Amino acid sequence: MCKLFGISSVEGWNRKTLEATLFAAQAAFSGEKDGFGYAVRTSRGLYGERYVNPKDFCGVEGAKALSKYLGPINEAIDFETDTRGRLGKLKGGLIVHGRTSTNNLDIENTHPFIKKGWALAHNGIVTYDGPERHKRGECDSEDILNSFVYGDGLKELNKHYTGYGAVLVMPPKWGFIAYRDDKAPLYVCRLIKNDDKLTPSGCAYAFATKPEHLWAILKKAKVEHTRPMKMKDEHAVIIRGDKPTAAVKVEEHEGPGYRVTSFAETNATGVSGFAGSPSTYSGGSRVVNGYNRPSTYGTQTGGTTKPAKPQQETFTADDWSGYGAGGN
């Protein structure tokens, strides 16, 4: 499966620490052969780099430097990369992604995706059946980004998607979102400063697909932290700012409806079929791509009953109400 790593705030970090973190993530994600990339918030906005071949990553701004050094022969080199934005003083979140592909290997399908100030990386496989929105590539994860940019963000997961996933998201201007459904794993730990007394305020958080990645990456970066712990099913951590003192809220959001994996998807992700057989659902269902998809939680025949969950209160701030831009 794809691998995720993220930190809610790297404010105060220097370039050396950022680079050590990225090289450690590159090593931790060595099993993901189909892409590597990162996005970080700086004083100049989002800055990101993406590589189709993960081994091509050679440091922060390394792609730009190498292209300049190669000069006129650059176009003859098999070196597919993409750089977005301008690097400035580190002031917000960081998202890193290692890719195992289920579609085309090219830069447009490589994470993280950046659009209109949003950045997103996703681990999982989803099928989207909502309003048509512009996509540059074929990656299903770009649909999720569009749900934040043009729609209602996390609220759309159960409405327009089947499949599974965990996402790390940076909204425009400031903030950080980490979410997992009941299939894709995501672990979290708190970063500790030397003078930290483990009080509830004044802290940043790190997230990763595997707990061992949190240990390995943060050790290389020389960042102390608490023990990694698994996030609850269908929970989101919403951080409302870029500083370690930013407000934090935890919410529940229903994940994508169930669907069956293809052999290629199972081979790529290691997830062998989704919970429940599509033909066993009764009531509150509709057909999507030939399968019955539950539109709400409720009774299931021939399987485990998933209890109803109440709607969760969300922020109403103008910047990203409901964690999506709103509208279609």
- So where are the chain's domains? 3-255
What is d(CA 325, CA 278) in angstroms, rounded to the nearest whole number? Answer: 32
What is d(CA 253, CA 157) in angstroms, rounded to the nearest whole number? Answer: 8
Binning pLDDT at 50, 70 and 90, where does residue 280 land?
very low
Confirm if 190 and 7 have CB atoms less than 8 A apart. no
What is d(CA 22, CA 96) in angstroms, rounded to the nearest whole number? Answer: 8
Confirm if 165 and 125 have CB atoms less than 8 A apart. yes
Q: What is the pLDDT of residue 62?
A: 85
Is the backbone peptide bond immediately before 256 cis, with ω within 30 degrees of 0?
no
Per residue in 158-207, pLDDT (tens digit) is: 999 999 999 999 999 899 999 999 999 999 999 987 555 555 556 899 99
Q: Which run of H or of E encompasses 22? A: helix 15-28
* pTM: predicted TM-score of the whole model, two decimal places: 0.81
Range in 92-101, 203-212, 289-298 with the lowest mean pLDDT: 289-298
Per residue in 48-87, pLDDT (tens digit) is: 999 999 999 999 998 778 777 777 787 777 778 889 999 9
Distance, C-alpha 62 to centroid of its chain:
23
Query: Which of residues 323 and 9 earns the better pLDDT score?
Result: 9
Confirm if 26 and 35 have CB atoms less than 8 A apart. no
The DSSP string of 183-241 is SS--EEEEEE-TT----SSS--EEEESSHHHHHHHHHHTT-EEPPPEEPPTTEEEEE-S
**DSSP secondary-structure letter at 109?**
G
Query: Which of residues 25 and 267 earns the better pLDDT score?
Result: 25
Q: ∠ CA(272), CA(98), CA(112), 5° rounding?
A: 110
* Residue 139 dihedral angles phi and psi, to the nearest 5°: -70, 130
Q: What is the pLDDT of residue 26?
A: 97
Four-way CATH pick for 3-255: 3.30.379.10, 3.60.20.10, 3.90.650.10, 3.40.50.2000: 3.60.20.10
What is d(CA 231, CA 179) in angstroms, rounded to the nearest whole number? Answer: 8
